[in-house]
Amino acid sequence: MISAFLGTLGYKNDNVTQVHFGLIRKIIMKCGELMESKHEPRISMSTLGKNGRFGNQILQYIFLKVYGKRYGIEIETPEWIGNDLFELNDQPNLTSMPVIYQSMFEGIFNTYWREYFQKRNISIKSEIIDENVLYSDTPPYKNVDFWGYFGFHFSHYLPYREYIQSLLQPSIRVRKFLEEGTNKLKNHGKSIVGIHIRRGDHLNYKYTEAERSFYCASTSVYKKLLKDIWSSLDEPVLFIASDNIDDVLPDFKEYNPITSAKLFHNLPPFLSDFYSDFYILCHSDILAISNSTFSFLASILNKSAVKFYRPNLKSEMLIEFDPWKSSPYHSET
């Protein structure tokens, strides 16, 4: 068969080099793999990159990848910022599959997404999709397009810790942009204390019932932590990240805080917007996060920190926590 095929390419006899035979074999085998892959189970998340900010997108991607790994199912993703930041090699999301969405977010789905899928004539189904989907003997879902937020308690992801952390490492190209600024920060001290203070739309929920979910800790609780630990650290340097940096920075002036604006210059927009902050938080030696999936995910990817802290509404303090034994969302306990 191979000889006949080579004849169609202009070869007149079977005296063909082994290189040509090997090449054609690979072509034929690859074609067979592609044909077979059309019948293999797969999953996708077509709204990845559109449904929430960076922290929520990372949570969604972690769920998709862990689910795929757990059941040996190939995943498909659309274009999203993760493709620019990380060394990802997922299949592109080219075809539509039936959508299943987390029933606990039905209100958000109905408000913002139901019409989006209906206009595309895509079938929709509500399901209770929780951490139990990771513990089945067989895949609970396949050949579906997932929609939701998938903010599971990270104890359920603990068996996949190394896998998750390896997935979400910045690409070589991205690291080249950021290493110079990171080295500048290290010139200011040996122990990096990273703080993230979330403000933005969370302030809209202050003094409402929703404050439990969108609690914004005051700068005073972070300053109390610094007062308690600063003298015990070896040449500490304070790094602050915030979506309202101009308002919070003056409160920490006695610690001579450093920000991304002082470290990084001429970054591409997709890095300067927020990822430079995220990168430093991922490499801090002490990390105090806010009530935010953004900095919680930084704690998940941080391999070097000796202690992690997060705000607690009930005590109005920062409490020490283990990211891999915690929920990404605020808890009063």
Are the C-beta atoms of 257 and 249 separated by less than 8 Å?
Answer: yes
Q: How far is CA 123 from the centre of its chain?
A: 27
Predicted confidence (pLDDT) at residue 11 exceeds the cutoff of 80: no
Our separate counts of H helices and E strands in the chain read: 14, 11
84: how many CB neighbours lie within 10 A of its CB? 16
Per-residue confidence (pLDDT) for residue 214, from 0 to 100: 63
237-270 b/e (C-beta count within 10 Å ≥ 16 → b): bbbbbbbebeebbebbeebebbbbeebbeebeee
Per-residue confidence (pLDDT) for residue 174, from 0 to 100: 95
Tokens, residue 193: 């204390």
Q: Give the pLDDT mean for 1-13.
A: 46
Q: Give the pLDDT mean for 205-217.
A: 59
- According to CATH, what is the number of the domain 172-325? 3.40.50.11350
Predicted confidence (pLDDT) at residue 89 exceeds the cutoff of 50: yes
Q: Give the pLDDT mean for 43-48.
A: 98
Predicted confidence (pLDDT) at residue 10 exceeds the cutoff of 50: no
Report the chain's terminal Cα–Cα distance, integer Å. 69
Per-residue confidence (pLDDT) for residue 199, from 0 to 100: 79
With pLDDT > 90 as the criterion, what percentage of the chain qualifies? Answer: 74
pLDDT band at 272 (very low <50, low <70, confident <90, very high): confident
DSSP secondary structure letters along 62-120 = HHHHHHHHHHT-EEEE-S-THHHHB---PEE--S---EEEEGGGHHHHHHHTHHHHHTT
Per-residue confidence (pLDDT) for residue 35, from 0 to 100: 41
Are the C-beta atoms of 65 and 131 separated by less than 8 Å?
Answer: no
On average, the pLDDT of the chain sits at: 87
Phi and psi, residue 322, nearest 5° = -105, 115
Per-residue confidence (pLDDT) for residue 187, from 0 to 100: 94
Token look-up 């293999």 returns: 40
Tell me which H or E stretch contains 318. strand 317-320
Residues 6+ apart with CB under 8 A from 243: 198, 199, 200
Q: What are the pLDDT digits (tens) for 56-75?
A: 999 999 999 999 999 999 99
The region that residue 268 occupies, defined by phi over 0 for left and psi between -120 and 50 for alpha, beta otherwise, is beta
Residues 6+ apart with CB under 8 A from 247: 199
Query: What sections of the chain are H helices per DSSP?
Result: 2-8, 18-37, 54-71, 82-85, 106-112, 114-118, 161-167, 172-186, 219-229, 245-248, 260-263, 269-272, 275-282, 293-301
Length of the chain: 333
Q: Give the pLDDT mean for 154-181.
A: 96
pLDDT band at 213 (very low <50, low <70, confident <90, very high): low
With pLDDT > 70 as the criterion, what percentage of the chain qualifies? Answer: 83
CA separation for the pair 295, 276 (Å, rounded)? 12
Q: Give the pLDDT mean for 22-44.
A: 58
Predicted confidence (pLDDT) at residue 28 exceeds the cutoff of 90: no
Query: Helix, strand, coil proportions of the chain in percent (round to 5)?
Result: 50, 15, 35
- Pick the closest to residue 195 from 165, 238, 251, 144 (CA basis): 238
Q: What are the pLDDT digits (tens) for 290-328?
A: 989 999 999 999 999 999 999 988 888 999 999 999 999
Q: What are the pLDDT digits (tens) for 95-147?
A: 899 999 999 999 999 999 999 999 999 999 999 999 999 999 999 999 999 99
